[in-house]
Amino acid sequence: MERAGIPRHIAMGISGHRTESVYRRYDIVVEGDLQAAGGKLARYHEKQVAKLRRVT
């Protein structure tokens, strides 16, 4: 549900998980998630480097 953009607290209510630890137990990480996170991190890093170059 979070991959679909549903906030965690709403997803927990829908799925019936009362605690974050139980919810996270079933939050399976897939290869695509890792690749997407890596891409986001790379874009963030590029923006930060560009900002530093403009300042100096």
Q: Decide: pTM greater than 0.75.
A: no
- Amino acid 9: pLDDT: 95
* Inside any domain, residue 38: yes
Token pair recorded at residue 46? 């590029």
Q: Which domain holds residue 42?
A: 8-55
d(CA 32, CA 40): 12
Domain count, the chain: 1
What is the spatial distance between Cα 40 and Cα 38, in angstroms, rounded to a whole number?
Answer: 5
pLDDT at site 29: 85
56 pLDDT above the threshold of 80: no
The answer to whether residue 3 is domain-embedded is: no
pLDDT band at 53 (very low <50, low <70, confident <90, very high): very high
Nearest-CA neighbor of 4 among 16, 19, 15? 15
Residue 2 resides in a domain: no
pLDDT tens track for 10-48? 999 999 999 999 999 988 888 998 999 999 999 999 999
